[in-house]
Chain A
Amino acid sequence: KQEVTQIPAALSVPEGENLVLNCSFTDSAIYNLQWFRQDPGKGLTSLLLIQSSQREQTSGRLNASLDKSSGRSTLYIAASQPGDSATYLCAVPETSGSRLTFGEGTQLTVNP
């Protein structure tokens, strides 16, 4: 059974800092890995999807890397802003289009 863990559970940083969020998974036979953002009282917004054959994906100030062999992914946020404050979740599906197994998330606070 796939298990996904995210560390740290919460993170508070000053504005402008570069930061890394970690995600680990127990079964390396993943199809892809997805990072989501969740604002309080809102649904999830997809940030990045990395296919199992890829090593990283970039979108603006976000960069996600994937190391299947070690069961790890990192989300790098450059030059953090107060608007980045949210909970960040990583998730993996068993196969294409199947259910996602989520981590418990990292709650990020960026202080002005």
Chain B
Amino acid sequence: EAGVAQSPRYKIIEKRQSVAFWCNPISGHATLYWYQQILGQGPKLLIQFQNNGVVDDSQLPKDRFSAERLKGVDSTLKIQPAKLEDSAVYLCASSLARSSSPDTDTQYFGPGTRLTVL
């Protein structure tokens, strides 16, 4: 079974530029998550989709971050304009999350995109 795919793996941009990240979840997974992980910290949720609807975006800086999940499959996270403090690893995860069981609750993570803002 293929895992969660993300691209690019690395991105270096200057502040005030824009950047986009792409995620392809595990086939059949209804729920998709974007997390931000700053060096030395645990991941923090930015946005959660259930199919193509937003479930939780309470921690998304909406003045500069946006995300979409068209057709309930792939997702794109965009930052415009980027700030120095956006330097982090952006992790995409997916889960079945249709019913209450360990198999469906487990979140599977992609390799992440490491963003450096200069």
Measured CB to CB, the residues of A under 8 A from B are 4, 31-32, 34, 36, 41-46, 49, 51, 89, 91, 93, 96-100, 102-105
Whether, in the assembled complex, B43 has its beta carbon less than 8 Å from a beta carbon of chain A, the answer is yes
Whether, in the assembled complex, B115 has its beta carbon less than 8 Å from a beta carbon of chain A, the answer is no
Total interface residues on B, CB under 8 Å, equals 31
Count, A-B residue pairs, CB within 8 A? 65
Contact A98 B56 (CB under 8 A): yes
Contact B56 A99 (CB under 8 A): yes
Considering the complex, give the chain A residue whose CB is closest to the CB of B56. Answer: A99
Contact of B111 among A32, A42, A96, A98 (CB under 8 A): A42
Give 9 new A-B contacts, CB below 8 A, not counting A31-B105, A96-B104.
A34-B107, A42-B111, A43-B4, A44-B109, A89-B42, A96-B97, A97-B31, A104-B42, A105-B42
Contact B106 A49 (CB under 8 A): yes
Contact B102 A32 (CB under 8 A): yes
Interface residues of A: mostly helix, strand, loop or mixed? strand
